[in-house]
Amino acid sequence: MEKVRVRFAPSPTGGLHVGGVRTALFNYLFARKHKGDFILRIEDTDQTRYVEGAEQYIFDCLKWCGISPDESPENPGEYGPYRQSERKHLYRKYAEDLVRKGHAYYAFDTPEEIEAMREKLKSEGKGNQQYGYAVRHTMRNSLTLSAEETEALLKINFPHVIRIKMEPNELVVFEDVIRGRIEMDTSSVDDKVLLKADGMPTYHLAVVVDDYLMKISHVLRGEEWLPSAPVHIQLWKYLGWGHQMPKWAHLPLILKPDGNGKLSKRDGERLGFPVFAMHWTDPRTRETVKGFREFGFLPEAFLNLLALLGWNSGTEQEIFSLEELTEQFSLERVHSSGAKFDFEKAKWFNHEWIKRTPASGLLPLVTEIYRERGIENTEAEKMAFVIDLIKDRCTLLPDFWDQGYYFFQRPGSIDVTPIVSKWNEKKDLFFNELIRTLEVMDFWNSANLEHGFKEIAAVNQLKPGELMLPLRIMLVGGKFGPGVFDIAAVLGREETIERIRQGLAELP
RNA sequence: GCCGCGUUGGUCAAGGGGUUAAGACGCCUCCCUUUCACGGAGGAAUCACGGGUUCGAAUCCCGUACGUGGUACCA
């Protein structure tokens, strides 16, 4: 079998969203699984949609996710350039070749003329208002003009496009790896523009030419491309490359959680979750949206949750490393139906990954979060210990702050409401005695702390349970956190005693 | 409108002629834990509808409904 070569071909028009990353991931997995190449090609043929920084952003996202391409604009292989804008000169000759063979034609219609044609069809009640076989003989193109007229218009550089000439009433049949046999009537597809008036190819021409030139073996792309597949397939044939046509696989869409359509950037803002991999700042509006990374997702978890959106291994395993995904992935097990995105489940994946990641792996990320909030003196050994103590309670990375900041800084305020009503003099006496005991305690560790605490409680005929919550609140400020003696052990003698003193001061 | 694709609990989904129709998320109850979690044990909740084919259909076929994508000199 020929070498597997797949490509992720995004258009650099903004943030890279979950659907895009998943397409990239599936391409990556498929390539790795078959010891093939994973290529990144930038589809920037629409100059009106150029967005500053969007291309670099794509590189960065893939890097963060850990699925960097083997060939890309940054890291070219032998099939470059990898930016379609830099391949502009390649396309025209293929389009003209098609004109020569009678599979395409020059069209000189202005946008207004096309618009008028559509209006006319609409008013006649025609369901199909496409520029296609039914109307092309009424338009201004090289099919209706004489050869001389066409030649003359071309000579004066009259604005024109090249359109594919779709033969009607042909059945295009192809095998989709995910969906099986698919049939479409060519009559339902229009004469797509192949080469635009500015000389740039449209997606349809560029994708076929580049996939051919780059020796792409499998096209894995979103389902939104399914309706234009017949155009691409005809192009492969018309160009004379039919025998080298890649295998097709159209991936299911990722849908909004509440139904109605593809997941979009707006849904994230509306529903309060990220849809981009990383934060994206629109260069025009300066508006920034947070991505999965900024919400506190681990890249491993992000990839994991994306992989399970549309694919599953057929086993009960749900947590997969990239290596495991690579081993087990197969297109045959990709669904054909769309999946609604569920942020709750996404968070669960991250929680699982946090629980499984050793403190050493979390350390730089958590340290950075503390630094952002003004705490620099996070000694690594202590922080690693704290991470292990609290990571079961952390779903997203910023939770490490809420669950652990009090190890590094006194709580700004403490909430005594859960204990104040049951507070009494006996308890007050107990804590004063506890302070005296702590001051002279030999080995400051969790077990000794607990032992000493319970001993004093017993002597005073108090139940430890009624005392532990007050201690907790004095130390951390509220009803949360790991074992209270573990907390005191980390805090150290002086700090523990000081916090008890301050706590006592707030109680009657 | 037209064309394509799809439809198993609220969500992700296994199962593809005979199953008590897995599992996970979320929700609820209980246990563990004198906080919150983690962990453990349970629970509620599903084959879109209508026709076929068949001894037997979630599974195969046809319709309908619904969802979704496309219908640009956007990708």
Q: Is the CB of A80 under 7 A from strand B?
A: no
Classify A132 as helix, strand or coil: coil
Closest by Cα among A495, A328, A322 to A407: A495
**A396 in helix, strand or coil?**
coil
Å between A184 CA and B50 C1'?
28
For chain A, which ranges sit under pLDDT 70?
A: 1
Query: Is nucleic acid strand B under 7 Å from A168's C-beta?
Result: no
**Residue A178 and residue A255: Cα distance in Å, rounded?**
18
pLDDT confidence of residue A443: 92
CA of A189 to C1' of B57 (A): 37
Give per-residue pLDDT as tens, A415-444.
Answer: 998 888 889 999 999 999 999 999 999 899
Of A394, A389, A403, residue with least CA distance to A480: A403
User: Residue A80 has what pLDDT?
Assistant: 83
Residue A78 contacts strand B, CB under 7 A: no
Helix, strand, or coil (residue A480): coil
Tell which strand B nucleotides have any atom below 7 Å from a protein Cβ. 1-8, 10-15, 22-26, 34-39, 67-75
Q: Is the peptide bond before A364 cis (omega within 30 degrees of 0)?
A: no
- Dihedral Cα A108, A109, A110, A115, nearest 10 deg: -160
Strands (E), A319-412: 339-340
Tell me which residues from 307 to 366 on chain A have a beta carbon below 7 angstroms from nucleic acid strand B.
308-312, 314, 316, 318, 333, 335-340, 342, 344-345, 348, 351, 355
Q: What pLDDT sits at residue A334? A: 96
- Please report, rounded to whole angstroms, the spatial distance between the CA atom of protein residue A176 and the C1' atom of nucleotide B7: 19
- Nearest nt to the CA of A342 via C1' is B11
Please tell me what DSSP assigns to residue A277.
S
How far is it, in rounded angstroms, from Cα A6 to Cα A22? 14
Q: How far apart are CA A298 and CA A350, in angstroms?
A: 7
Q: In whole angstroms, what is the distance from residue A301 CA to residue A311 CA?
A: 15
| Span CA (A363) to C1' (B9), Å | 40
Nucleic strand B under 7 Å from the C-beta of A196: yes
The residue count of chain A comes to: 508
The pLDDT of residue A1 = 61
Of all nucleotides, the one whose C1′ comes closest to residue A484's CA is B35
- Nucleotide in closest CA–C1' contact with A109: B73
Q: Mind telling me the catalytic residues of A?
A: 265
Beta-ladder partners of A340: A255
Q: Concatenated DSSP letters for A177-210?
A: TTTEEEEEEGGGS---EEE-TTSPBPHHHHHHHH
A223 touches strand B (CB under 7 A): yes
CA of A390 to C1' of B24 (A): 24
d(CA A159, CA A497): 83
Phi, psi torsion values for A39, nearest 5 degrees: -115, 140
The whole-number Å distance from A331's CA to B28's C1' is 38
What distance in Å separates the CA atoms of residue A12 and residue A495, rounded to the nearest whole number? 53
Q: DSSP labels for A288-329? A: EE--HHHHT--HHHHHHHHHTSSB--SSS-----HHHHHHH-
- Residue A124 CB closer than 7 angstroms to strand B? no
Tell me how many degrees the CA angle A6-A39-A283 measures, rounded to the nearest 5.
125
- In angstroms, the CA A392 to CA A453 distance is 26
Q: Which of residues 42-61 of A touch strand B (CB under 7 A)?
A: 43, 45-46, 48-49
Per the CB < 8 A criterion, the answer to whether A238 and A101 are in contact is yes
Alpha-carbon separation of residue A2 from A27, A250, A427 (angstroms): 17, 21, 79
Domains of chain A: 5-82+253-343 (3.40.50.620), 85-251 (3.90.800.10), 366-407 (no CATH), 417-506 (1.10.10.350)
Q: CA–C1' distance A170–B53 (Å)?
A: 32
A161-164/A280-281 β-pairing: unpaired
Cα(A226)–Cα(A176) distance, integer angstroms: 10
User: ipTM of this complex > 0.90?
Assistant: yes
DSSP state of A252: P
DSSP A45-95: --GGG--TTHHHHHHHHHHHHT---SB-SSS--TT---BGGGGHHHHHHHH
> Is the C-beta of residue A427 closer than 7 Å to nucleic acid chain B?
no
Angle at A309 between CA A306 and CA A310, to 5 degrees: 130
Among the listed residues A318, A327, A321, the one whose alpha carbon sits nearest the alpha carbon of residue A348? A318
**Would you say A501 and A435 are in contact if contact means Cβ atoms under 8 Å apart?**
yes
Between CA A310 and CA A351 the distance in angstroms is: 21
Residue A112 Cβ under 7 A from any strand B atom = no
Query: What backbone torsions phi and psi does residue A107 show, to the nearest 5 degrees?
Result: -130, 130
A323 neighbors A289 (Cβ within 8 angstroms): no
CA–C1' span, A385 to B38, in Å?
17
Burial of A434 (0-12, 13-18, 19+ CB in 10 A): buried
Which residue type is seen at A81?
Answer: P
Nucleic strand B near CB of residue A121 (< 7 Å): no
